[in-house]
Amino acid sequence: MTADATLLRILDLTVDLATEEGKVRPVDGVSLSLATGEILGLVGESGCGKTMTALAIMRLLPEPGSRTSGAVRLMDRDLLALPEADMRRVRGPSISMIFQEPMTSLDPVFTIGHQLTETMRAHHKIGRHEARERAIGILERVGIPNPAQRLNDYPHQLSGGMRQRVMIAIALILEPQLLIADEPTTALDVTIQAQILELIDDLRQRSHMSVLLISHDLAVVGQVAERVAVMYAGEVVETMPTTSLFVAPRHPYTQGLLRCIPGLAHDSGATEARLHVIEGRVPELRNLPPACRFAPRCPYAMDRCWNERPQLEKVADEQYLRCWNPQPFRA
């Protein structure tokens, strides 16, 4: 297996949703690629379309009322073109997803062991005993003490960090090629968060799994991802290696987000009483600006930004940008 083989290639992914207030497009022309064994961070604020993108990849969007176009290629197969029966065999063994809230994603009436072994037996022909052995093994790998006893526990008997570990164990038990982690640590305390991020990175290194890490937290993404894609109002506005994220972001939105984080100023030695603010608010999907979607909030907006839609273009090695008037970054 080569390190830079592309595992997932998303091309011009667009999601249309019919809501009570009319049709909206929460994901608009998103293109991303993910190499084997790579962690790609997908960041943005509430409602920017990052979770919708993940659900579209998994084909888990609500069936009536949503329409997905574009292509999602996993190796040589276009997932959007697969019959549902085949797609069901992709979810689990090929792509697994973990969600933000571990309490609502685990079934409260079944033991941890039952949920793990059922997942295995649904996809593989294996006996109860072997399934149990493998369940113990995976719980051990995600760092759960006394795994054999824990198999008999119900979700409510576990702490938040333990539950998220169990979620990860269930997601990993079929050894997927791709893990989609949607805000996997947002509900957790900071010391537990550090453990979970280390665990994800460790599993990636050992099993060569790829990870799409969705988060609103730039610092979390910076900690484990190799590349990052920033979304705003349904579009990817910038992608770059994380080494550039904190020193050379080019998009005014990325720059603004970084300056909003309390603490960045500390690292440059100064303590500011006031934090940076991005003026205005995220546009409503039903009422998007005509060209660049960030223009109404952008300090550098020009006439062109209101008239002509910028495209995602290559500006440096591995750095792509959707902006007519990028400025150098100063923290």
Partner 1 sequence: MSNTSAAGTRSPSVPEAPPLLEVHNLSKRFPVRRDLLGRPTSWLSAVDAVSFTIRRGETFSIVGETGCGKSTLGHLIIRLQPADTGSVLFDGEAVLSSSRHHLGQLRQRMQLVFQDPFSSLNPRMKVGAIVSEGMHRLRLGRANQRRRTQEVLEMVRLAQSYAARYPHELSGGQRQRVAIARALAANPEFLILDEPVSALDVSIQSQVLNLLHDLQQELNLTYLFISHDLAVVRHISDRVGVMYLGKLVETADRDDLFGNPLHPYTQALLSAIPRPQARDQHRDRISLEGEALSPIDPPRQCRFASRCFRVIDRCWTEVPPTESQKPEHDAACFNIAPPTDATAGP
DSSP assignments along 7-58, one per residue: EEEEEEEEEEEEETTEEEEEEEEEEEEEETT-EEEEE--TTSSHHHHHHHHH
**125 vs 274 by CB, closer to partner 1:** 274
Is 284 or 303 the residue whose CB approaches partner 1 more closely?
284
Residue in 107, 189, 308, 318 binding partner 1, rule: CB under 8 A: 189
Nearest distance in Å: CB 115, partner 1: 22
Q: Cβ-count burial of 182 within 10 angstroms (0-12 exposed, 13-18 middle, 19+ buried)?
A: buried
| Minimum distance, C-beta of residue 265 to partner 1, in the bound complex (Å) | 8
Print burial letters for 33-49: b (CB count within 10 Å at least 16), e (below 16): bbbbbbbbbbbbeebbb
Contact 164, 181 (CB under 8 A): no
Q: Which is nearer to partner 1, 267 or 317 (CB)?
A: 267
Distance between CA atoms of residues 291 and 285, nearest Å: 13
128-166 residues labelled b (16+ CB within 10 A) or e (exposed)? eeebbebbbebbebbbbeebeebbebebeebeebbbbbb
Contact between 317 and partner 1 by CB under 8 A: the answer reads: no
**Whole-angstrom Cα distance, residue 98 to residue 77?**
23
Rule CB under 8 A: is residue 273 a binding residue for partner 1?
Answer: yes
Residue from 256, 283, 310, 326 touching partner 1 (CB under 8 A): that is 256
242 near partner 1, judged by CB under 8 A: yes
DSSP designation for 91: B
Shortest separation between residue 59's beta carbon and partner 1, angstroms: 28
Nearer residue to partner 1 within complex by CB, 57 or 232: 232
Q: State yes or no: residue 261 binds partner 1 (CB under 8 A).
A: yes
- Does residue 75 belong to the site contacting partner 1 (CB under 8 A)? no
287 forms part of the interface with partner 1 (CB under 8 A): no
Binding of partner 1 at residue 312 (CB under 8 A)?
no
Report CA dihedral (157, 159, 164, 167) to the nearest 10 degrees: -10
Q: Please state the closest distance from residue 223 (CB atom) to partner 1, in A.
A: 5
Q: Is 276 in the site for partner 1 (CB under 8 A)?
A: yes
Cα 149 from chain centre: 32
20/63 with CB nearer partner 1: 20
Q: Taking CB under 8 A as the rule, does residue 45 contact partner 1?
A: yes
Q: Roughly what angle, to the nearest 10 degrees, separates helices 190-207 and 160-172?
A: 20
Nearest alpha-carbon partner for 211 in 97, 52, 90, 77? 97
Q: Does 16 bind partner 1 (CB under 8 A)?
A: no
Element (H, E) at 135: helix 128-141
Q: What is the closest distance, in whole angstroms, from the C-beta atom of residue 66 to partner 1 in the complex?
A: 24
Q: Judged by CB under 8 A, which of 14, 195, 207, 325 binds partner 1?
A: 195
Positions in 105-124 near partner 1 (CB under 8 A): none
Q: Binder to partner 1 among 18, 75, 148, 260 (CB under 8 A)?
A: 260
Part in contact with partner 1 (CB under 8 A); list of ranges 28-36, 77-85, 204-212, 241-249: 241-249
CA distance 213 to 200: 10
CB of 220 to partner 1, least distance (A): 5
The CA R_g of the chain, rounded to the nearest whole Å, is: 21
- Site of interaction with partner 1 (CB under 8 A): 45-46, 145, 159-160, 189-191, 193-195, 197-198, 216-220, 222-226, 241-246, 256-258, 260-264, 266-267, 269-278, 281
